[in-house]
């Protein structure tokens, strides 16, 4: 496994693009999101929206069933299907579904929790949660390609 350190986000991003262009699998480790990741595409918004909508529809349907089928009440001739008052419960359930999905979608899509992986043996990578900019590649070929791309160090770590 090759671990290369870079002085800033720009050089790291350039090197990662070049290596990916050469067909290599690379991973970046950064203290903040790289610009391309901060605004990058993700399926999470669509998943959250879908589940929130299902939560809304489910809660609305449940109220219709409860008040119209399971336990209808005759109170002063008021209708049992009273959709305006059902909205509150439905919206709040949708919100609850959205927030729980948001967190679980983040964890599941990243396969977290994951407490160990081979790169953890390389202590220098700890600086990625401080101010270090790193590139990690499985392919030893990366070492050759990384020369002249502005990295401050290139290390080989047993995978």
Partner 1 sequence: MTPGQPVVLPGETMASVTDHIADITLNPFGRWWGACFAFSVLLLGIGVLGVGWLFLHGIQTFGNNWPVMWGFPIINYVWWIGMASGGTLISALFFLTGSEWRTSINRIAEGMTVFAAACAGIYPIIHLGRPWFFYWLIPYPNTMGLWPQFRSPLGWDFIAVLAYVVSSVLFWLLGLIPDLAALRDRATGRRQQVFYGVLALGFRGTGPQWRRFHRSYGILAAVMAPLVVSVHSIVGLDFAGAATPGWYSTQYPPFFVCGAALSGFGLVIMLLLPLRRILRLQPYITSRHFDVLGRLLLLASLAVSYCYVMDAFDVFYSGEDAVRIQFIERISGEYGWVYQATLLLNCLLPITLWSRWMRSHAVPLFAIGLGVVVGMWFERFGIVVAVLHRTDLPSAWGGYAPSLTDYAIFAGTVGLFGAGFLLFVRLLPVVSIAEMRQLLATRG
Cis amide prior to 97 (ω within 30 degrees) = no
Contact 143, 2 (CB under 8 A): yes
Measure the CA–CA gap between 4 and 156, rounded to whole angstroms: 9
Nearest distance from C-beta of residue 8 to partner 1, angstroms: 10
Q: Interface residues for partner 1 in 103-122 (CB under 8 A)?
A: 103, 105-107, 109-110, 112-117, 119
Q: Which stretch binds partner 1 (CB under 8 A): 89-97, 138-146, 148-156?
A: 89-97
Q: Which of 159, 133, 109 is nearest to 35 (CA)?
A: 133
Quickly count: other Cβ atoms within 10 Å of residue 92's Cβ: 13
Where along the sequence are the contacts to partner 1 (CB under 8 A)?
Answer: 9, 16, 27-34, 36-40, 42, 44-45, 48, 52, 59, 62-63, 66-67, 70-71, 82, 85-86, 88-89, 91-93, 95-96, 98-100, 102-103, 105-107, 109-110, 112-117, 119, 125-131
């Amino acid at each position: 496994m090759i671990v290369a350190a870079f002085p800033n986000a720009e050089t790291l991003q350039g090197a990662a693009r070049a290596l990916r262009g050469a067909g290599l699998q690379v991973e970046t480790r950064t203290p903040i999101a790289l610009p391309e990741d901060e605004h990058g595409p993700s399926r999470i918004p669509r998943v959250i929206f879908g589940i929130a909508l299902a939560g809304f529809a489910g809660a609305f349907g449940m109220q219709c069933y409860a008040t119209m089928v399971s336990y209808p009440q005759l109170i002063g001739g008021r209708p049992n299907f009273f959709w305006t008052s059902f909205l509150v419960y439905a919206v709040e359930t949708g919100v609850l579904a959205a927030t729980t999905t948001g967190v679980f979608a983040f964890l599941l899509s990243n396969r977290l929790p994951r407490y160990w992986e081979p790169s953890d043996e390389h202590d220098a990578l700890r600086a990625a949660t401080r101010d270090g900019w790193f590139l990690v590649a499985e392919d030893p070929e990366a070492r050759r390609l990384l020369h002249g791309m502005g990295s401050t160090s290139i290390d080989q770590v047993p995978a």
